[in-house]
Amino acid sequence: MGSNSNGSNVIPVHSSSPDSGFLRQLRKGERQALSRYFDQTAPVLLAVAMRYLSNKQDAEDIMQESLLKVLHSLDSFAPLNEQSFEAWAKKICVNQSLNFLRKKNRFIEVGDFESERIIHNQTDQTAEETELPEQIDSLKLMDCIVQLPAGYRTVMNLYVFEGYSHKEIAETLGISENTSKTQLHKARKFLKATVAEYSNLKSTLSYERKS
């Protein structure tokens, strides 16, 4: 690995080797390694927390808790099947986010009037028709995901981004597999409808500017 500008060998955060120089430096609490760790890992974990929590302050709190928990758990980091340090840190952040939601009893939230209105305005569709929309940029898609009711959002995150099965989601959240499937289906319909509304608004604004 390369050296940084002042010549010291600091191995990137994303190294997957448990014996890397970077991890040794982190375990020793060396200032430069800690600075690099926070600079590189904080934005990654904040993005994870924001996928689960609709409130930015809550997400920032979970990010901070996760950063500290990663440091306190370094001795247990033993990558398997090329699992990276970043993936391990993300998993800790996911668990912290789920613990937060569990304490707030937000897993099974039917949704407010507006989200139900958007969903019911959609005609019944097949599973293929309710896959995540691809005709929208990733930042706007993430904004739409944050707008999901907590129950829908949690199930979608675990299924789509973390790769959980419905059985694993049910066990993790203390719900039935059918509830997990229903929440995911409604989440996809909500996203599709929200993206459609966004696209229509964007087209209208574009037309007005040209008029």
- Angle CA 53–55–61, to nearest 5: 80
The candidate with the shortest Cα–Cα distance to 101, out of 152, 144, 38, is 152
Report pLDDT for 144: 81
Report pLDDT for 147: 84
Report pLDDT for 105: 73
Q: Average pLDDT for consecutive 10-residue bins of the chain (211 residues)? A: 44 46 88 94 96 93 97 83 78 96 69 45 43 61 84 92 94 91 90 73 49 50
Report pLDDT for 38: 96
Would you say the pTM of this structure is higher than 0.85? Answer: no
* Dist CA 100 CA 112 (whole Å): 21
Residue 122 in contact with residue 192, Cβ under 8 Å? yes
Report pLDDT for 128: 43
**Relative orientation angle of helices 177-210 and 113-120, to the nearest 10 degrees:** 80
* Dist CA 117 CA 96 (whole Å): 31
